[in-house]
Amino acid sequence: MRIWMKRGLILLLLAMVLASCGKAPAEKPAETGAAFQTVTAEEGKAMLEEDPVIILLDVRTPEEFAEGHIAGAIRITDSELEAEAPRQLPDKDAKILIYCRSGRRSRASAQKLVDMGYTQVYDMGGIIDWPYEIVK
């Protein structure tokens, strides 16, 4: 009987972990009420095709960028974002679509931009999920 209870508990914990792995549609810092939106690669591609002035921001390292990036992307390393954004992204109301390698840095960078007052921030996740052509 005890082994079945342990297995049941393990399955319940596994289900809880897997349920928490999904992407949230928006992240909101409590103090500002501002949010960024999470979009898929397909949604991001459609946004780029529909809006020629959208800013595509790659927050990876220079080496990662050189290995391959999405056409039209500008690069600001995630660790330099707070210092470089005011100069390279002066319009806080511009649409900004962010990506990195896997999605961790893009999510953190999207939150940084929102915290800095940017109003139209979209996290596209990682280039590893980009099924389209890249520039090398």
User: Is there a catalytic annotation at residue 100?
Assistant: yes
Q: How many helices (H) and strands (E) does the chain have?
A: 5, 6
Task: Quote the tokens at residue 14.
Answer: 């596994």
Q: Which residue has the tokens 């990876």?
A: 60
126, 68, 132, 90: CA torsion to nearest 10: 60
* Catalytic-labelled residue, pool 100, 113, 121, 124: 100
So which residues are the catalytic ones?
100
